[in-house]
Structure 1
Amino acid sequence: MRTDTDADADVDDPTNARAEVATMTTDVTEITVIGDDDTGLVARVTSLLFERGINIEDLDQAVRDDVFRMYLAVDTSEMVCTEETLREDLHELGEDLGLDVQVRFPADRETQQIAVLGTKESHCLEALFESWANDELGADIGVVIGNHDDLQPLAEHYGVPFHDIGDEKGQQNEERLLEVLAEYDADLIVLARYMRILSPNVVFRYEDRIINVHPSLLPAFPGAEAYRQAVEEGVRVAGVTAHYVTTDLDQGPIITQRAFDVPDDADVDEMKRRGQPLEADALLEAVKLHLNGDVSVHRGRTTVRENGTGYQLGLPAEIDEVTPDRPVDGIGSVVADDH
């Protein structure tokens, strides 16, 4: 277990957050602590767990914009209290320290709940709904949340509650967002072309449980107007990326990518026409990888587990048939034959 001293090196550098913490399997209990930064917070929480016979398998903490976040993966198999008592004790400690403490036991994750966030574009949400309707997700889409009401008819068509958390200009109300996510007990948040940036107050609560799709081959062209950036730079190949969300914009661990050729005369509308179906495809594949527990995060990169087969992470396998495999760096075959 890491101590406060061990964490000092990365507590103010959220790019290192959970650098050594892989995505947890379903046999551990996950505890997330969020609140204003203060001294002694780690000691108070870990002492409570120790007193109840709970072993800490992983601990990571970070601070961003004065928001403190601590994540713990713990083994509760031999704890000397009930699950309900532990929830109550952590809740009381949180109230005493002014912290929000969330506990997820293994049984809490058996039927996963998805919250989808969107703005106006419908293609990614439509792909998620179609897969869900065909029983391909293995999870429930419990709620759709928007900062405009454009996607409400699509959500209602599938019988899913819709909540508009935006004002007349589309600015999000994050306090309301957190209330809705808690109300529907969201296990995974999917940003289906949600055109707002989530603050650390949200990201820290759902770390490695928020998946976004971005219209570029990250790390190229992060931020807004990615297709326009690609056109202006004259790229020959463009693409899309599904990734986990971190507190650094468009820099989270990459899960899946898709690519397409860019014609000489392509404009932004043509880029969208080619890219949007791939956005939906890459996002859906990333969501399935996460829900099936087939992807893990380690040191800012994702790895597909050994049992995670049959996924398309990047280009289709057929591309290998037309991709040259030689020459590669080294002594050329002609020179080698001469010797």
Structure 2
Amino acid sequence: ALAILRDIRDKRLKATAAVMIGNRNSCRGIAEQFGIDFHNIGDEKGNPDNRSMVDLFDKYDVDYIALARYMRIMPPRACWEYAGGRIINLHHGLLPPFPGFRPYHDAYTHHMLTYGATAHFIVPELDAGNQIIHQSTFTVTPGTSLDEIIRTGETDNEPQCLAEGLRRVVDREVELHFHRVVRVKR
């Protein structure tokens, strides 16, 4: 979220942040720093109130939804109402080889030296594939600890990946066409 807000502020991303929604209060300070309304829709365990989330999308009349570390399945209503390339998600691993909740761990188990993140469109069908907007990678040397790999991914690679993926969509460089990401002809 911070990388996106900085890119908007610095005019690298031609967008306006309408609202920040979270299932915990950890992003409230970032929203306040940038003068954006923040809504916590999580219960005491962080489980989101999906109805409230969709109602807030409607209230703020959002054009796009950017998900950063939203480790939940989007509610079907949101997927259908905002289908067609309007929901952009950051997956903290390279897709398709490392889906799921622990892609760094999975890649580490396979002794990978290249790690990455994937910005992709969300569609109503879970894991339908072929919606990749942008991927960014980083390489480590043999013996790099898993903790160091995760730190590098979370602090350096993932924010840049989501910001670049969102920029490509907002600038209309790519779009979702029949569940495939295609370049827009200019």
Is this a same-fold pair by TM over 0.5?
A: yes
In structure 1, what is the Cα distance between the partners aligned to 2:38 and 2:137? 32
Q: CA deviation at 1:274?
A: 2.3
User: What residue number does 1:274 align with?
Assistant: 152
Cα gap change, 1:167 to 1:216, in 2 (>3 Å): same
Which one-letter code corresponds to 1:145 in the other structure? I
Which of 116, 119, 134 is the equivalent residue of 1:256? 134
Please tell me whether the aligned partners of residues 130 and 181 of structure 2 are also in contact (alpha carbons under 8 angstroms).
no
Residue by residue, what CA displacement relative to the aligned partner does 1:9-33 show, whole Å, maximum 9, x if unpaired?
A: xxxxxxxxxxxxxxxxxxxxxxxxx
Q: Matched residues in 1 for 2:114 and 2:101: separation? A: 19
Residues of 2 paired with 1:165 and 1:221: CA distance? 29
Structure 1 alignment gaps of length 5 or more: 1-124, 308-339
Which structure's CA Rg is the greater one?
1
Query: How far, CA to CA, are the matches of 1:201 and 1:228 in structure 2?
Result: 32
1:291 corresponds to which residue?
170
Aligned-pair CA distance for 1:252: 5.3
| 1:214 aligned onto 2:91 | yes
Q: Tell me, in whole angstroms, the C-alpha distance in 1 between the residues paired with 2:70 and 2:101.
A: 12
Q: Retained in 2: the 8 A contact 1:245–1:251?
A: no
| Corresponding residue of 2:54 | 178
Q: Which structure is higher in RCO with an 8 Å CA cutoff and minimum separation 6?
A: 2
Match of 1:230 in 2: 107
Give the whole-Å Cα distance in 2 for the aligned partners of 1:234 and 1:148. 33
Equivalent residue letter for 1:220: P
In the alignment, is residue 148 of structure 1 matched against residue 24 of structure 2?
Answer: yes
Per the normalisation by structure 2, the TM-score is 0.91
Name the TM-score, length of structure 1 as normaliser. 0.52
Identity %: 34
Aligned partner (choices 164, 168, 183) of residue 40 of structure 2: 164
Closer, same or farther: CA 257–250 of 1 in aligned 2, 3 Å: farther
Contact preservation (8 Å) 1:212, 1:245: yes
Tell whether 2:135 aligns with 1:265. no
Give deviations 1:297-333, integer Å, cap 9, x for gaps: 23432122233xxxxxxxxxxxxxxxxxxxxxxxxxx
- Deviation of 1:293 after TM superposition, in Å, equals 1.6
Secondary structure in structure 2 of the residue aligned to 1:142: coil
Distance 1:306 1:144 in 2: 32
The whole-number CA distance in structure 2 between the counterparts of 1:197 and 1:250 is 13
1:203 and 1:237 map into 2 onto residues whose CA distance is: 31
Paired with 1:268 and 1:258, the residues of 2 have a C-alpha distance of: 18
Contact 2:118 2:136 in 1 (8 A): yes
Cα offset, 1:264, TM superposition: 2.2
**How far apart in 1 are the matches of 2:144 and 2:75?**
35
Matched residues, number? 183
Report Cα offsets for 1:232-276 as digits up to 9, x if no partner.
Answer: 111122211100012314835001011121332233321222222
